Amino acid sequence: MTNSMQVELVQSAAAESWGDKALLSFSGNAATVHATAATGEPLVAAQRAARRLDGMGVPAVTLVGDGWDLERRWAFWAGYYNPNRDNRLDWGSADEAELKELAAREAAARWVREITNGTPQDVSPEVLAQSAADLLHELAPEAVSYRIVRGEALLDEEIYGIHAVGRGSDRAPAMLQLDYNPSGDDGAAVDFSLVGKGITFDSGGYSIKPSSGMATMKSDMGGAAMVTGGLALAIARGLKKRVKLYLCCAENLISGRALKLGDIIRYKNGVSAEILNTDAEGRLVLADGLIAASADEPRWILDAATLTGAAKMAVGRDYNSVLSFEDDSAQMVLNAAAAEHEKAWRLPLESFHLEQIPSGFADIANIGAEGTPGASTAAAFLANFVRDKGRGWVHIDLSGSYLPGANDQWAQGAKGHGLRTIARFLQEN
């Protein structure tokens, strides 16, 4: 790559003139990243250095020297990505397997970050569903089949939650139903069913958000993006297991047709849910996906969603939250995250949480009783739509998937943090 800055990574301090905590030093057209105790371990140092170079407006970088391995190269890309600028990165590697893995990660992560950062006007429910289908079909055209159920057709198939949440918008709600079946055998067992929350814009409905809380709500489809990106990376890595994917897509807007407080949704599996807060809409659409996933009788069900502010309060924006009734199931996801250098933390989910979403008019309410833990009661709501109220199921609340403002490791917006966890979970279990 011509006219690019040459960037080396070393684990020694910069010359004294740069200061004892210098992360970067420069010489002509070259920069050196100093990964030391003062600047952070190599992955953190690489990502921070990439952010600083992006902040300087450096448009092109070539990674040079022996200090770069696969994970350090990837950490640099994660920090160098800028949604407002097409930064160019030469990986600086001649290893064919390493380059193939980096290309697969970048393709999946770039799609996740770009679709999540897309404007609410450009990314409608149908656009999200179709874009996800196109991404996966292009990766494995012989193995991927799909259909998108839209608008009033949702009612014909008893997909009531997605329809109820999306009916307030002029743009139709939709469910993507996708089958990745590499064996080609229609009778093959389903290994995994993935479900993603795809709220392409969340006004809060009649429980309207303030402007400060609504400004980032184009990102409320992060769960749909994340499960799609995770499956895409797993396919690129050679996944041979059958996976069903359900994206539950809608805009949560206000109109004369919109969902109101006091409404009741009666789902296909017989569970009725009273609406006490229209801003707790993600769980309402996920319910349809979890009903469909349970009907597949897969070995494992995993859903991902930007579901609750409570999860962010618990773990911040560096970790994703993992909830399951089953220790072994939760640990599989935590192990996958650790293996992929992504951060995940388990939050509590117990059988008594099922009792903390009471309703006087329906089986359950869509928010917990006062004083109950929001992330746990949201997961408990979802459990009512999973086979046997939670068998073989893990819920990821994507606390760490999006940043309202840039920090020293990530650009503003979607991070793609979680897709590698999902890919590894699919590969190893």
Using a 10 angstrom Cβ sphere, with 0-12 exposed, 13-18 middle and 19 or more buried, the burial of residue 277 is: middle
3-state secondary structure of 29: coil
Q: In sequence order, what are the beta bridge partners of 274? A: 264, 365
Between CA 218 and CA 70, with CA 226 as vertex, the angle to 5 degrees is 120
What are the structure tokens assigned to 71, written together? Answer: 């994970």
Q: DSSP secondary structure string, 363-378?
A: SEESSPPTTS-HHHHH
For the chain, the residue count is 429
CA distance 145 to 178: 6
Q: What pLDDT does 95 receive?
A: 95
Q: Which residue has the tokens 């012989």?
A: 142
Concerning whether 113 is annotated as a catalytic residue, the answer is no
Report yes or no: 80 and 63 within 8 Å, Cβ to Cβ.
no
Using a 10 angstrom Cβ sphere, with 0-12 exposed, 13-18 middle and 19 or more buried, the burial of residue 295 is: middle
From the first residue on, what is the mean pLDDT of each consecutive set of 10 residues in the chain (429 residues)? 89 94 96 96 97 97 97 98 97 96 98 98 98 98 98 98 98 98 97 98 98 97 98 98 98 98 98 98 98 98 98 97 98 98 98 98 97 98 98 97 97 98 98
Q: What pLDDT does 20 receive?
A: 87
CA distance 391 to 326: 8
Which sign does the torsion angle of CA 102, 179, 222, 308 carry? negative
Q: What pLDDT does 324 receive?
A: 98
Give the contacts of 194 (CB within 8 A, at least 6 positions apart): 227, 230, 231, 243, 244, 245, 246, 293, 301, 302, 303, 304, 422
What are the structure tokens assigned to 112, written together? Answer: 């996740």
CA distance 224 to 273: 23
**pTM higher than 0.85:** yes
Instruction: Select which of 209, 237, 268, 391 is catalytic.
Output: 209
Q: What pLDDT does 3 receive?
A: 86
Q: DSSP secondary structure string, 281-318?
A: -HHHHHHHHHHHHHHT--SEEEEEE---HHHHHHHTTT
Instruction: Select which of 73, 105, 167, 283 is catalytic.
Output: 283
Q: What pLDDT does 1 receive?
A: 59
CA distance 208 to 204: 4
Q: What pLDDT does 2 receive?
A: 63
Q: What pLDDT does 91 receive?
A: 98
Nearest to 29 by CA among 1, 10, 55: 1
Nearest to 226 by CA among 197, 199, 252: 197
Q: What is the pLDDT of residues 33-51, one digit of tens each?
A: 999 999 999 999 999 999 9
3-state secondary structure of 122: coil
Concerning whether 283 is annotated as a catalytic residue, the answer is yes
